[in-house]
Amino acid sequence: MRAVPRHVACVMDGNGRWARRRSLPRTAGHRAAETAVIDVIEAARAAGVEWLSLYAFSTENWSRPSDEVDYLMRLVRRVVRKHAPLLLARGVRCRFLGVSDPRIPPELAQDFDDLTTLTGENRGMTLTVAFDHGGRRDIVEAARSLIRSGTPAGEVTEAVLAAHLPFPDTPDVDLVIRTSGEQRISNFMLWQVAYAEMVFPQVLWPDFRAPHFVECLQAYRRRDRRFGGAPTQPNGEH
């Protein structure tokens, strides 16, 4: 096993509960999450993680109250603009997975495009922000793309379908971290997480910091990844 997972994906969960425990509005939890995001990006870089994916906004999140959604759009735009110079300086290549819903403010979509272009030549860690993302939708769109391409059914393999997914150069996820203790995928990168190890720390995302991230990496190192094969650990433990 690699000492460090090549691709780590984080489901950033617990903002609302963090705020509620402090008798604050949910928006306060989203605002507090910014520090955790930057800390995890820095921790992943320092650890040698090559690909980091963050689940920022799902296709299902559109069902939240409109004032909360509007706040999130404004907050994400501020965060993107604020930290663009840091990401560029750190050699982080940024891109955004999803971003197809017309309800996304045009100025936010433009900021996503600008950051993608700004950091496109970076050769350090690749940061993928899943925004307006749904794993099932990605697979459906890949199937539609295959049909449009005229690929015969007998020629469709896993590799062929994967080549029609968004960002097909993205490697499979090695480690999924979901904070707040919840234990589900929530439609996140469904194709890529097929054989991922999963860690569910109890800490809420706004309180998640570099030491927590490192603990998750250490938990990954203790796993015996078999990909359906026979155990490599004595007595088949782990």
Q: Return the active site residues.
A: 13, 61
Q: What's the one-letter identity of residue 49?
A: V
Give the largest Cα separation in the chain, rounded: 58
Q: Sort 52 into a burial class: Cβ within 10 Å, 0-12 / 13-18 / 19+.
A: buried
Of the candidates 9, 46, 189, 211, the one whose C-alpha atom is nearest the C-alpha of residue 124 is 46
Q: Half-sphere exposure (CA, 13 Å, Cβ side) for 107?
A: 8
Alpha-carbon span 116 to 208, nearest angstrom:
26
Helix (H) or strand (E) holding 78: helix 66-89
Could you tell me how far CA 237 lies from the centroid of its own chain?
Answer: 30
Which residues are within 8 A (CB) of 117 and not within 5 positions of it... i.e. 6 or more apart?
none
